[in-house]
Chains A and B, each alone.
Chain A
C-alpha cells in the first residue's frame, strides 16, 4: 500500500500544504520546529483516525483557525481517498473514505496499517513494564482481533474484580466468597489466554528481531525478547499456576483490595546474547534495539496480515552513528514506502539514497521538493 499524496489545511503549522510522495523512501528535512513531525502525525491520523501526539483533536488546529482538514490518497490495487475534517465549533471530527462518511473507528483501524518509530520509543526498552506490555499488546492486537477482544475482556474482569475486592474490604469480609471465586475463575480463564498468546508471540517475534538486528548491526550477537509471566515461574500449565498464585496471594489481595497477579503485572525482557538490555545496554544499544523492534514489528505485521504497513520514522538518526544510519537507510529500501524526518541536511550524504527516493524540505509549514 502506498500513500501517494497528502493535503493539509490548518493542521498545526501547515496552513495549506500539498505533497506528492514517492513510493519508496521520503526524507523529510528541515530545522527544529518547522513542521516535519507534523507531516508524520498527519499520516498517522489518516491511518488510525487519531493523533499519536495530541490528546485532543482541538490541539492540532492551526492558531486562530476554526477547523482542520487532512486528505490522503492511498494506492493499493484500488485507490482509496481518505479525508478527515475537524470542526472546533462542533468539536467533532468527520472521517470520509471515498466520500462516504465512516462512523466507527473500528472500520478504519487495520485498513491502513502503520508502524511508527519515534523518540518516545525509548520507554519500550528503558521504561517501566507497562510500556513494554503496551508495545507487545499493540503488535499482537494489530495482527489478531481475537487477542484484542480477550484483552478487553480481561481488563473488564480486572476492573470488576478490584471493585468487588474493595467492597469486601469495606464489609470486612476477609475471605473468599462464592462471588469472588467466580470472578477469580473468570480472571484465570481470560488471563491464561493472554499469557499463552503472548508466549506464542514472543517465540515467533524472536525470529523477526534476530533478522532485523543482524541486518542493522551486522553482527552475530543474538538478540531476543523473553516473556516473564506470573512472577517468572515459567511452567506450561498456565491455568493451574495462575490459580495457585492467586490463592497464595489471597489474603494480601483482600487486604489491599487490588489485583496483585496476572498478565497485567507481567514484564518482557529484552536481551543481547542473554545479557539483559535494561541492565547492561548502552544508550546506543538501546536506541538500536528500539529501531530493531519497529522493523521487526513491520515485517511481523506484513507476514501475519498480508498487508504492507506504511513506515514512519521520526528522527531515528539523531543518536546513531554514520555506519548504523547508513545500514538503516539501505534496509528501508526493502520495506516499501517509508517516511523519515531528519534535522540535518548534511547527514543525507551518508544515506543510501536510491533514485526513486524523495527529499522534502520543510520550512515554517511550507514544503518544497529537493533532489
Chain B
C-alpha cells in the first residue's frame, strides 16, 4: 500500500531526530494521528515554544526564557566562580547535584579540528570578555575527560593563566556506591593517581 504523502512527511521529519529510527517514527506519527486535537495542538505549541521562547543567556549561553538566565540573575549565586561546560545538558547535570553555587559558561562544544571546530566557533572569546570585565576568583573546567575535552581544557588553562586567575579541573575517579572491581582499569588507575589524604 502507498503511504499517504502527509504521513510519509511526518515520518521522515520525526526520523531525523537522534535515536529515532523509521519504525519508531512511524509509530509516533500514527499515535499523533490518533490523538485528540487538543493534545496535538499542545504538542505543536510546546515544540514551537522551544524555538520562539527559549534563547541563550547573553552572559553564560545557558538556556533561558529571557535575555539573562535564572542563574546569572540570581543574587544567591557566587558570581566570582565560573564553571565552564561543553553543553547545556552539563549545566543541568551539575545543577541537579545542588553542590555548586557559582555561575556557568556553556562553550557549545569542544575543540575538534577534524569536525572543523575552532576556538572561534566556540564561546571562548565571550568567556575571556567575562573574565576581563568582572573580578573572577576561580574558573572550574568541567569538560568531558576524552581526547577533545582534555585538549580544550589545556587550551583554556593556557589562555586564562595569562590573566592570573585560578584554574581548576573537576576530579575524576570512582562512582559513588560503585564497586571497585567493576570499574574499568583506566578509571581505577586514574583514581589511584588522584588519591587524597583523609
Mark A residues whose CB is within 8 Å of B: 144-146, 149-150, 153, 156-157, 159-161, 163-164, 167, 178-179, 181-183, 185-186, 189-190
Contact = CB atoms under 8 A, between A and B. Distances in A.
B147 A178 contact: no
Given A144-B185, A146-B186, A164 B113 contact: yes
A130 B185 CA distance: 27
Contacts of B151: 157, 160, 182-183, 185-186
B119 A179 contact: yes
Given A160-B112, A160-B114, A186-B150, A178 B158 contact: yes
B158 A182 contact: yes
A182 B112 contact: no
A158 B151 CA distance: 12
28 contacts: A146-B185, A146-B189, A149-B185, A150-B186, A153-B146, A153-B147, A156-B148, A157-B147, A159-B114, A160-B111, A160-B112, A160-B113, A160-B147, A160-B151, A164-B113, A167-B113, A179-B119, A182-B151, A182-B154, A182-B155, A182-B158, A183-B111, A185-B151, A185-B154, A186-B150, A186-B151, A186-B154, A190-B147
Q: Main SS of the interface on chain A?
A: helix
Contacts of B158: 178, 181-182
A160 B117 CA distance: 11
Nearest to A161: B113
A23 B146 CA distance: 44
A159 B114 CA distance: 8
B27 interface: no
A28 B189 CA distance: 43
A145 B186 contact: yes
Contacts of A150: 186
A187 to B, nearest CB: 9
B184 interface: yes
B189 A179 contact: no
Given A160-B111, A183-B151, 14 more contacts: A144-B185, A145-B184, A146-B185, A146-B189, A153-B146, A153-B147, A156-B148, A160-B114, A179-B118, A179-B119, A181-B155, A182-B154, A182-B155, A183-B113
A178 B186 contact: no
B152 interface: yes
A157 B154 CA distance: 13
Contacts, number: 57
B152 A182 contact: yes
Interface string B111-127: 11110001100000000
A146 B184 CA distance: 9
Contact of B186 (A149, A157, A179): A149
A110 to B, nearest CB: 11
Interface of B: 111-114, 118-119, 146-148, 150-152, 154-155, 158-159, 184-186, 189
A179 B155 contact: yes
B27 to A, nearest CB: 23
Nearest to A185: B154
Nearest to B152: A182
A190 B147 CA distance: 9
Contacts of B114: 159-160, 163
Nearest to B111: A179
- The residue in B148, B152, B154 that gathers the most chain A C-beta atoms within 10 A of its C-beta is B154
A189 B151 CA distance: 10
Pick the 3 closest A-B CB pairs, nearest first: A182-B155, A163-B113, A145-B185
A179 B155 CA distance: 6
Contacts of B184: 145
Contact of B148 (A160, A185, A189, A190): A160
Contacts of B148: 156, 160
Nearest to B184: A145
A258 B186 CA distance: 29
Nearest to A144: B185
Contacts of A183: 111, 113, 151
Contacts of B119: 178-179
Nearest to A168: B113
A186 B185 CA distance: 21
A186 B110 CA distance: 14
Contacts of A190: 147
A181 B119 CA distance: 13
